[in-house]
Amino acid sequence: MRAAIIGAGLGGLLAANLLAKEGYKVDVFEKLPFIGGRFTNLTYKGFELSTGALHMIPHGKRGPLGSLLKELKVDVEIKDSKPEGEALYNDKREILTKKVAPFKTLMKFYAKSLIHKFFGRDFYLNEFQKGIDEFSGKFIDAFLGWSLSITSREILFSKFLKIYQQTMRFRGPGIPIGGCKAVIDGLVENLKSYDGKIHLRKKVEGIVVESAKAKGVIVKNERIDCDLVISNVGHYETQKLVGKDYLGYLKMKLSESSGIKYSIALNEPFIGHSGVLFTLDAQRIAGLNEVTNADPNLAPNGKHLLMAHQPMLTSNVKYEISLGLKDLKRILNGYNYEILVVQSYTDGWPVNRVKAGMDIGVETPYTNLFVVGDGAKGDDIEVDGIALGVLRFGELI
């Protein structure tokens, strides 16, 4: 049995390893000259910066990605964060626990959860925010901006509830030692041990479908036959490769989420731990993490790497960055810092190809053609959601 994987990002490599483990002959085709897509490192001024996702796994080694890597026997160390998170509110920091939210707000949340469970009533999360305390409302905004690059107007309560349940089950984040690239390198080495192949600068130009069944891919005008085709480029791009519009009216709903990331050099630690610091009073910055508290080798000796993220609330990138920089100037007041890189994620290189909660699953109308990655996630945060999508794909095949 032979499988062709379109894209050597995290989702594609996870699917490739899963198939190789089951005995498939696997070929991964990547149009870029490097492996990992938006989940690897680039070295700049001695700092290990990430190409996309932060050097962080939302649920650490306990969650879906950590468990899948363990199942695949991928050699990567994940250091779980302690504390898992803090909130910066009214210039004061507070460790996040269930007790942070007032009793009245918690009771409202549990009541809404029960109403949804027993009566099926659903609504957008911003409805729930009406009438709750200011801290909890701002925390929801910061959490969504940090973890999903969306607002409460863009996610249904039912979808948020599933993510909340995942967070309560698996808890908070962890840092892969070596950053995102350590995960990618581990997946690549593991795939090689199964004789899997990765072909760089090999753009897939089409997917061969005959009688509603995927039969292969077209690379440089050459047809490569296979038994399975797995796309890591999202449903929208996948249907273009098929040459037929299988999304129909759905494609109008499959909008991407956009965001901006800042990599910041410090001479001394600002956060002091490797958990998330949610910034509740900022205009745009939703949160920060300081990965060098878990892995000092991600920065030159004596330096610290702080990473900040904001959702894009307008389409004006320059305007959004100006607001983010103002936030950072206020948050880091009194600290000597340098903005190393500002990276925007939109227009074909987004945070997610589909906003959280809008995913339509890994299946397509065609037999033996599946979609994985950030365009077909399960209900969880970022790369843990990608892992859930890949696990679902594994169940189907």
Query: What pLDDT shows up at residue 362?
Result: 97
Q: How big, in percent rounded to 5, are the helix, strand and coil portions of the chain?
A: 35, 25, 40
Query: What pLDDT shows up at residue 98?
Result: 72
Whether residue 369 contacts residue 229, with contact meaning beta carbons closer than 8 Å, is answered with yes
Query: What pLDDT shows up at residue 179?
Result: 98
Give the mean pLDDT of 53-79: 97
pLDDT of 23 strictly over 90: yes
Q: What angle do CA 287, 289, 295 make, to 5 degrees?
A: 170
| Helix H or strand E segment including 80 | strand 78-80
pLDDT of 294 strictly over 80: yes
Q: Which of 131, 115, 133 is nearest to 123 (CA)?
A: 115
Q: Can you read off the two tokens belonging to residue 348?
A: 């074909």
Q: Give the residues across from 206 on adjacent strands.
A: 218
Give the mean pLDDT of 346-363: 92
Q: What angle do CA 271, 272, 278 make, to 5 degrees?
A: 30
Query: What pLDDT shows up at residue 97?
Result: 84
pLDDT of 312 strictly over 70: yes
Close Cβ partners of 223 (under 8 Å, ≥ 6 residues apart):
208, 216, 217
| Helix H or strand E segment including 21 | helix 10-21
What is the rounded distance in angstroms from the CA atom of residue 328 to the CA atom of residue 74?
37
Query: What pLDDT shows up at residue 248?
Result: 86
What is the rounded distance in angstroms from the CA atom of residue 349 to the CA atom of residue 241?
18
The mean predicted confidence, pLDDT, of the chain is 96
Q: Which of 37, 11, 72 is nearest to 370 (CA)?
A: 11
pLDDT of 252 strictly over 70: no
Burial 73-95 (b: 16+ CB within 10 A, else e): ebebebbbbeebbbbbbeeeeee
Query: What pLDDT shows up at residue 348?
Result: 84
- Report the share of the chain in percent with pLDDT over 70: 99
